[in-house]
Structure 1
Amino acid sequence: MLVGEATRVSGDERKGIASAYGAGGSYMSCEYQMMSPRQGAGTCVFSNGARYKVHIGT
């Protein structure tokens, strides 16, 4: 399990970054852009090199 937080980028409330860390030194880093207050999309990169596209919202 990874635990972390997300925040909006200063000066551009549609863009954000997120990061999370887990046991054993695993981590992920994400960049995303909100298309509306409840929906967005972005990309996350994990410490093992895996890269995922993510969707936020429904």
Structure 2
Amino acid sequence: MSDFMKKAEQFGEQHPKQADQGIQKAGQEVDQRTGDRYDKQVQKGEQEAQQRIDQGNRNR
């Protein structure tokens, strides 16, 4: 895993609320810029990112 990904995962574990907000904002931005053409893929990515955060918090 890249150094960036490790840091992002650590941030998500330490600050789950802010990480969740960031995930949602990023998804909204992608939807806005693409005219919702990739809405299903964006939603899937958001869900997977949130699951990783939740999973990291359970392992603590």
**Pairwise TM-score range, normalised by the shorter structure:** under 0.3
Going by fraction, where is helix more abundant, 1 or 2?
2
Going by fraction, where is strand more abundant, 1 or 2?
1
- Report the TM-score, using the length of structure 1 for normalisation: 0.23
- Report the TM-score, using the length of structure 2 for normalisation: 0.23
Higher relative contact order (CA 8 A, sep 6+): 2
